[in-house]
Amino acid sequence: MGSLRALASLLVLHLLQGSHASLVQLKDNGYEDVIIAIDPGVPEDGEIIEQLKAMVTAASTYLFEATEKRFFFKSVSILIPEAWAQNPQYRRPKHESYKHADVIVAPPTLPGLDEPYTRQFTECRAKAEHIHFTPDFVLGKKLNEYGPSGRLLVHEWAHLRWGVFDEYNEDEPFYSAKSKKIEATRCSAGISGTNSIHTCQGGSCVTRRCRIDPTTKLYEKGCQFFPNKDQKEKTSIMFMQSIDSVVEFCNEKSHNQEAPSLQNLKCHYRSTWEVIRESEDYKNTTVMEETPPAPTFSLLRISDRIVCLVLDKSGSMGGSDRLNRMNQAAKHFLLQTVENGSWVGMVQFDSVADITSELIKIRSNSERDMLVTRLPTQATGGTSICSGIKKAFEVIEKAGFQLNGSEIVLLTDGEDSTAKACIGEVTESGVIIHLIALGPSADQAVIQMSNETGGNHHFATDNAESNGLIDAFAALTSENAGLSQKSIQLESKGLKLTSDPWMNGTVVIDSTVGKDTFLLITWTVQPPSISLWDPSGVLTAGFTEDTASRMAYLSIPGNAQVGTWTYSLQAKANPETLTITVTSRAANSSVPPITVSAKMNKDTNSFPSPMIVYAEVLQGYVPVLGANVTAVIESNSGNTEVLDLLDNGAGADAFKDDGVYSRYFTNYSANGRYSLKVRAHAGTNSARRRLGHPRSRAAYIPGWVVDGEIEGNPPRPETDENAETVVESFSRTASGGAFVVSGFTSSATDVFPPSQITDLDAVPEGEEITLTWTAPGEDFDVGTVQQYIIRISGSMLDLRDRFEDALQVNTTGLSPKEANSKESFTFKPGSIPEENATHIFIAIQSVDQSNLTSEVSNIAQVALFIPQADPSPDESQPNPSPPENYSSGVNISTLVLSVVGSIVVVSIIVSTTICILKKKTSSSRPRTEF
């Protein structure tokens, strides 16, 4: 247990392969090692670099003032594509890579949508993935629509670094406020402006006040909030930082808790400044007395990939078939994964190290085949990891290359007490260490090297059936290559065969891949019989059999036929373990392939805290919805758990239909390391691409009010938020790295509560209210809860902070369903104790069989008045008249159900004490009265 704790203490927070992993450090109030990466698909334009410098410099000053003199940008690296011409100012990257980019400059998600946004799919206070700016935005071509780029960078940085959310909501741009008026969703509410319809055609513009939609009782579709150009309000940066007077984040005093903003929904109605103050950044800084210096910039140009394999051949590698399995995986890496144009060398080590191959540039299969012959053949001797790494330094420098940015793929299965002696030399060298640990022992010092040099670390068990070692090598594609160059894993599967000798299956090759398709079969005892049929039913021959390494492989020339390939493997021994791995590359460099990446929310965890699995399925930058995504989590002892991941916006999943599939993992079996692999596939017409605007996007400024007149901006390209296109059948697998668990005990009783309900919604049912939500589980999002507690209050803060004191709804007859089912409950609201209440607030808490309770849900709002529109000068087209039974008092009113995510209306008769008098029966669903 002591060594495990030491291992956990050495592991720094480091997101895993297939996900963003920022290298940013906060030192003396300044953010260092910020990386801005220009995508390989961006045409060369030196002005982009100059504008990036100007943007960050302006942002640093704005950030410093906005955070009360706490933070600024100190050092920034700009990664420049290899296709751009060399320049004396450009240097070779050290640890910096596209994987670590905090900001990317890349083509828009869809043509014409130059919207800046932050890829943010986790909970409040969690760091996001990256910021996405388009070249046109950086070049200042969208200044009118989005405001100064430096200010916008600070807005997006708050998403990225502190996990706050926007204080506007384009899905719910208006709401009914306590003032009994219709207000624009914003923070603070002190931002002044006008709500108008503004249309232009042929150089002529027409402006009119917005009318009330008779269904929602809010403003009609197309109504927009136009802020006054001249403002005095200082908040908030997370609403519209482009307003000249806005220089602060909303705090407790200025925060608008009424507005249906994502900040309110995701951060439980706390202001952005409250969330920022809770961050580690804030806790580790003090107010600066002096003005900070301007940021410094490093211009780093991507160049040839240089990678040296450092392979352990010590005596312990002779057991559990480790040496052979290492060679199988290394051969797959050499024959398929490593990209053409890369330089590859090889070192083997036991108690000493030997160079088995100097650096060779991969130009064709002949170089790959030669490297394969240099792999170790015998396991013997001790373990000297530092010797192997230093020998790799020799290989790289002897070829005339710098260590900066060069990669070492280190595979080892044991501990080495001397490894810590070279930590300093390795981290100072600029080389990147990718660690593949085989078996239960991995030296702590090497894990530290991998983390501190920005490398990946993967762990593989001795369970050949999991195919973990091949997956680990297959994940080591270049972090700086264009997507079209990278090897993409379509299938990775293993099976231990006993009574049934057959391993049958299919692999889908979709039209976005097919180039350099490579199939690898491995076995443990005897070569199986192999049959492979292409989509047209033709039997495919030509496998190369390598009996010494117990593997057979086939490379399909050109682009493989699109469709479903069928394989049938028959074992010739009993028992036998067979595996199949299929990889390919993009068929067309101009069509982005479908990809899947995976990660856990953290890489060290103490029981009983849950882990969260994330898998992102994209085509380019466009989310892919409707895929079947599963996670396979394997413990160090070989126990596996399979989780179906969901994109339903409930439980661990922050946003519905964003292409990120999530789930809690709580089913621990032991302390130690766990590895993650994700599978994603889709059948015919089952998946689709979402073509709407990206989430967490910058607020588009429709125009300004100047001297009472609207000065409109060019209209934003129209995109239907619900627009989708069907995606063809596909299959993908991806390694998500590993995480370490400590403190687990098998004797622990029920320790996991239900997950928080985050999608509480409501619809009108005559004079009753029907609530709907996604069912949580007995253990977060697994199983079935025991009961629901529903409470209402006239005060949002009371319901949030003193939930147990609020009035409880009778839920007799409400029987909880299994986790991730849709729940529905109808009830009739009665009197609430708060006088002068303008809203009823509703929330839910779940209770499991051990009386463990969930966090309180998001809060549904019920407004007890008819919201008033702005006075309209347009008498020829007035707003609809109030209902006939409307009076200025509260005897007869309209109940406006306003929930973050929806606004609905239901007419209900209420008394001056806000008590429902009329009665309606409903037998179609559970219902109750107080």
Q: Which token pair is 271?
A: 């202001």
| pLDDT at residue 337 tops 90 | yes
| pLDDT at residue 2 tops 80 | no
> How far, in Å, CA of 843 to CA of 804, rounded?
11
Domain membership of residue 921 (yes or no) is: no
Exposure string (b/e) for 478-501, b if CB count within 10 Å is 16 or more?
bbbbbbbbbbbbbbbbbbebeeeb
Pairing of strands 296-301, 343-349: unpaired
Residues 312 and 439 in one domain: yes
Question: Would you place residue 835 in the very low, low, confident or very high pLDDT band (cuts 50, 70, 90)?
Answer: confident
* Range with the largest mean pLDDT of 18-22, 200-204, 369-373, 416-420: 369-373
Where a domain ends, among 417, 450, 481? 481
Q: What is the pLDDT of residues 659-685, one digit of tens each?
A: 999 999 999 999 999 999 999 999 988
Q: Which token pair is 693?
A: 């605007």
Tell me the chain's radius of gyration from C-alpha atoms: 30
Q: What is the CATH number of the domain that holds 552?
A: 2.60.120.380
Maximal CA-CA distance, the chain:
94
Question: Would you place residue 204 in the very low, low, confident or very high pLDDT band (cuts 50, 70, 90)?
Answer: confident
Q: What is the pLDDT of residues 344-382, one digit of tens each?
A: 999 999 999 999 999 999 999 999 999 999 999 999 999
Domain that holds residue 112: 10-303+693-715
Q: Which token pair is 395?
A: 């290989």
- Of 94-103, 725-734, 917-926, the range with the lowest mean pLDDT is 917-926
Residue ranges with strand state E in 60-185: 72-73, 75-80, 103-105, 117-119, 130-133, 174-176, 182-184
> How far, in Å, CA of 688 to CA of 538, rounded?
30
pLDDT score at 868: 82
Q: For all residues of the chain together, what is the average pLDDT? A: 89
Domain membership of residue 868 (yes or no) is: no
> How far, in Å, CA of 586 to CA of 564, rounded?
17
Residues 319 and 181 in one domain: no
Burial class, 283, CB count within 10 angstroms (exposed 0-12 / middle 13-18 / buried 19+): exposed
| pLDDT at residue 434 tops 90 | yes
Residues 84 and 195 in one domain: yes
pLDDT score at 663: 97
Burial class, 714, CB count within 10 angstroms (exposed 0-12 / middle 13-18 / buried 19+): exposed
Give the number of residues written for the chain. 930
Percent of the chain with pLDDT over 70: 91
Domain membership of residue 4 (yes or no) is: no
Helix (H) or strand (E) holding 280: helix 280-283
Where a domain ends, among 813, 838, 863? 863
Mean pLDDT value across residues 739-765 = 88
Q: Looking at beta carbons, which pairs linking 354-361 to residues 24 or more positions away fall under 8 Å?
A: 354/391, 355/391, 355/394, 355/395, 358/395, 358/398, 358/399, 359/306, 359/308, 359/395, 359/396, 359/398, 359/399, 359/401, 361/304
> How far, in Å, CA of 310 to CA of 312, rounded?
7
Please, what is the end-to-end C-alpha distance for the chain in angstroms?
A: 54
> How far, in Å, CA of 488 to CA of 594, rounded?
9
pLDDT score at 20: 52
Pairing of strands 604-606, 787-793: unpaired
Burial class, 154, CB count within 10 angstroms (exposed 0-12 / middle 13-18 / buried 19+): buried
pLDDT score at 720: 67
Domain membership of residue 895 (yes or no) is: no
Question: Would you place residue 100 in the very low, low, confident or very high pLDDT band (cuts 50, 70, 90)?
Answer: very high
Residues 261 and 345 in one domain: no
Residues 833 and 805 in one domain: yes
CA nearest neighbour of 408 among 314, 326, 306, 302: 306
Phi-psi region of 150 (alpha: psi -120 to 50; beta: other; left: phi over 0): alpha
Residues 138 and 201 in one domain: yes
CB 646 within 8 A of CB 820: yes
pLDDT score at 11: 28
Mean pLDDT value across residues 305-312 = 98
DSSP string, 371-439: HHTTS-----S---HHHHHHHHHHHHHHTT--STT-EEEEEE-S--TTGGGGHHHHHHHT-EEEEEEES
Residues 433 and 523 in one domain: no
Domain membership of residue 887 (yes or no) is: no
Q: What is the CATH number of the domain that holds 404?
A: 3.40.50.410
| pLDDT at residue 181 tops 50 | yes
Residues 400 and 491 in one domain: no
Question: Would you place residue 722 in the very low, low, confident or very high pLDDT band (cuts 50, 70, 90)?
Answer: low
CB 733 within 8 A of CB 630: no
Name the amino acid, one letter, at 855: E
pLDDT score at 895: 42
Task: Please give the tally of structural domains in the chain.
Answer: 5
Residues 457 and 362 in one domain: yes
Q: What is the pLDDT of residues 798-821, one digit of tens each?
A: 999 999 999 999 999 899 999 999
> How far, in Å, CA of 739 to CA of 666, rounded?
13
Domain membership of residue 753 (yes or no) is: no
pLDDT score at 51: 98
> Helix (H, G, I), strand (E, B), or coil: what is residue 656?
strand
pLDDT score at 439: 83
Q: What is the pLDDT of residues 410-433, one digit of tens each?
A: 999 978 889 999 999 999 999 999
| pLDDT at residue 881 tops 60 | no
Residues 228 and 116 in one domain: yes
CB 560 within 8 A of CB 509: yes
pLDDT score at 850: 95
pLDDT score at 384: 96
Residues 574 and 608 in one domain: no
Q: What angle do CA 287, 288, 293 make, to 5 degrees?
A: 145
| pLDDT at residue 4 tops 70 | no
Beta-carbon contacts of 730 under 8 Å, excluding residues fewer than 6 positions away, are: 508, 510, 512, 594, 680, 681, 682, 687
pLDDT score at 766: 67
> How far, in Å, CA of 559 to CA of 581, rounded?
18
pLDDT score at 520: 98
Residues 93 and 185 in one domain: yes
Q: Single out the catalytic residue among 145, 156, 248, 823.
A: 156
> How far, in Å, CA of 440 to CA of 415, rounded?
10
Q: What is the pLDDT of residues 47-95, one digit of tens each?
A: 999 999 999 999 999 999 999 999 999 999 999 999 999 999 999 998 8
**46-66 vs 149-162: helix crossing angle, rounded to 10:** 70
Domain membership of residue 747 (yes or no) is: no
Determine whether 823 is an active site residue: no
Where a domain ends, among 536, 555, 587? 587
- Of 51-65, 123-137, 448-462, 844-858, the range with the lowest mean pLDDT is 448-462
Name the amino acid, one letter, at 492: S
Question: Would you place residue 899 in the very low, low, confident or very high pLDDT band (cuts 50, 70, 90)?
Answer: very low
Domain membership of residue 918 (yes or no) is: no
